[in-house]
Amino acid sequence: MPPPVRLTGLHHVTLVTRDMDETLRFLTEVVGLGFVLDDINQDAPGQKHHFFGDEKGIPGTLVTFFEIPDLDDNRLGAGGMHHIALGVEEEDNLMGPDRGPRRETNRPLGRRRPGKMEGPPFQGARGSAL
């Protein structure tokens, strides 16, 4: 039996969205992620693969998306995504006046204590929690 692979972490997490423009606005303007690059979907070269993350695009900070325009709304339950939790160095930057629950367009979902998340802090327009 070969030795087990020693993982060092996740490179990126890939999700799907119905509306890339809305997702771009939410991730960059509300959450504060940087837009890293557009690439192609290696499995479907006619489809773009959009990367978001820190300002350097460092693996482990990346969330990527494929756009599928006829995608159904996210529903909690089997087969659906509940939420994504991201670690940040300075929570005050995430929760500033231009981001997170303080923006009227985003509903606060949970409260957090230093070092512990008690629920996703806000919800995107299509029901995904972050």
Q: Report the predicted TM-score, pTM, of the whole model to 2 decimal places.
A: 0.71
Average pLDDT, the chain: 76
Residue that has been written with the tokens 């006046």 in this structure: 97
Any idea where the domains of the chain sit in the sequence? Answer: 12-123
pLDDT tens digits along 2-44 = 999 998 888 999 988 889 998 898 888 878 889 999 999 999 9
pLDDT tens digits along 54-76 = 889 999 899 999 999 998 776 66
Output the six-digit token pair for 119.
Answer: 């629920």
As beta bridge partners, residue 15 has 65
Q: For the domain 12-123, what is the CATH superfamily, name and number?
A: 2,3-Dihydroxybiphenyl 1,2-Dioxygenase, domain 1 (3.10.180.10)
Q: How many helices (H) and strands (E) does the chain have?
A: 2, 8
Which of 4-25 are b and which e, b meaning 16 or more Cβ less than 10 Å from the residue's Cβ? Answer: eeeeeeeebeeeebeebeebbe
Q: How far apart are CA 108 and CA 88, in angstroms?
A: 17
